[in-house]
Amino acid sequence: MAKSAPVPGRPRSRDAAGLPAVTPDRIIDAALELTARHGVETWTLRQLAGAVDAYPAVIYHHVGDRDTVVTAVVDRVIAKYELPDENMPFRDWWRQFLTNLRTVFMQYPGVARRVALNGPSVQAGGPTVDRAMRTLLEAGFDQDEAAMVCRLLVSQACLFISLEDDQRRAREAKDKISAGWGAPPANPELSGLATLNESVQGRLSDPEKNQDYFAELFDYAIDRVLDGVEKRLEEIRGS
């Protein structure tokens, strides 16, 4: 029997058009790439649909609405960082873990803010939270305070990464403001401001040092928070 001729105006199948099948994994892969290029809050479902050569309704069918796609993207990003050796002392473990977290999150702008606001899903974040909680429990915190410390450390790290995301996007405005703070104060009696001016000017005049500013600020902030956590542990052990 002869094959019927294609009906004019009817869309060809993806196979016939030489297009790969649309799958949930392929959609999330494309969303992950868009997030790396534009940030998680910037791309649209229409852009995502275009990236997989499909209609937005196909995204809904295979994955869900935009929030559902973003949750899947965040889960993918969380799966990329490496957990330190569980036998490390708790401070060393947390220092390494949060450094690894920053390295990965900086590649996907906006993900850190999502984690700070909502936390990870149980599926993606469960192994990390389990390991993190065990380091704190073994260090001497009770379950309630361990949960508070865990949230504090992750939130602080994510908030600093979010700030870095935002400032990198607003680089031109940030540079203008930084240049202003690097100018000598009009009032010479403002000695504290003059000291800050010298610090800012020294950084601005050294491109390599200026480029490392965010990493240095992140490290400093995490170390100071960990100082406080260790001090609290000393109080618990001494009570």
Which of the residue ranges 33-37, 51-55, 178-182, 196-200 has the most confident prediction, judged by mean pLDDT?
33-37
Work out the pLDDT band at 4, boundaries 50, 70, 90.
very low
Structural domain contains residue 83: no
Tokens of 205: 């005049």
DSSP-derived secondary structure for 113-149: HHHHHH---HHHHHHHHHHHHHHHHHHT--HHHHHHH
Of the residues 52, 78, 104, the one at which a domain ends: 78
Work out the pLDDT band at 120, boundaries 50, 70, 90.
confident
Same domain, 147 and 121: yes
The total of structural domains in the chain comes to: 3
What are the phi and psi torsion angles at 110 (to 5°)?
95, -20
Same domain, 103 and 48: no
**36 Cβ contact list (under 8 Å, min separation 6):** 107, 108
Same domain, 33 and 138: no
**205 Cβ contact list (under 8 Å, min separation 6):** none
Half-sphere exposure of 26 (CA within 13 A, CB side): 14
Same domain, 126 and 231: yes
Same domain, 73 and 104: no
Same domain, 46 and 69: yes
- Which residue range forms the structural domain that includes residue 140? 90-169+208-238
Q: What is residue 8's predicted lDDT score, i.e. its pLDDT?
A: 45
CATH number at residue 63: 1.10.10.60
Same domain, 28 and 67: yes
pTM of the entire structure? 0.77
